[in-house]
Amino acid sequence: MEGKSMKKISRFSIALTLFMAMFAGPTSAQHVPSQGALDELVKMYCAAWNEPDAQHRRELLEKVWASEGTYTDPQSHVEGREALVEHIGRFLKNSPGARIIQSSRADFHHGMFRFAWKFVGRDGKTVMEGIDFGALGPDGKLQRIVGFFGSIKPL
């Protein structure tokens, strides 16, 4: 029973985070970043994925990632900036020498963006490509990212 109600609370908390994240909503004309600002945001976010020092990583994410932002990919879901600092730490520990490299510019509309990236191994070879979709929060920071791994599946 306790597990169940924890799960309910956790689901509610996720929903509440998303609710707050999305409140600026598609009709809001606020916080439309310039291409340059968006590129800078994504560049710094990717830099955080390549920063092995937790405190440096935290400082990078403080600049670009909302404190309650959520990160989701096919294998993980983490809520909050500090959880992302730790999640990236685990990734870097498990894949020493690997790098996450932005491989496209970002485009943006109605508060939402997309950009492509590559996961490059220690030997410089691409391990995986992917695309991140996401939402900017009312403060102009990354509020949510949902990533998809690999090329899109052909019909």
Contact in structure between 132 and 117 (CB atoms under 8 Å)? yes
- The burial of 91, by beta-carbon neighbours within 10 Å (0-12 exposed, 13-18 middle, 19 or more buried), is given as middle
- CB closer to a second copy out of 141 and 144: 144
CB of 43 to a second copy, least distance (A): 10
- CB closer to a second copy out of 19 and 62: 19
Q: How many CA atoms are closer than 13 Å to the CA of 80, on its beta-carbon side?
A: 5
Output the CA torsion 35→112→104→37 (10° steps): 30
Q: Pick from 82, 40, 78: which is nearest to 61 by CA?
A: 82
- CB closer to a second copy out of 54 and 119: 119
CB of 144 to a second copy, least distance (A): 10
Instruction: Find all residues with CB under 8 Å of 31, minimum gap 6, and list them.
Output: 24, 111, 136, 137, 138, 139, 140
CB of 125 to a second copy, least distance (A): 19
- CB closer to a second copy out of 98 and 131: 131
Binding site for a second copy (CB under 8 A): 7, 10-11, 14-16, 18-19, 22-28, 70, 72-74, 77, 102-107, 109-110, 112, 114-116, 131, 133, 146, 148, 152-155
Contact in structure between 132 and 146 (CB atoms under 8 Å)? yes
The Cα 128–Cα 149 span in angstroms is 7
CB of 25 to a second copy, least distance (A): 4
CB of 22 to a second copy, least distance (A): 4
- CB closer to a second copy out of 54 and 133: 133
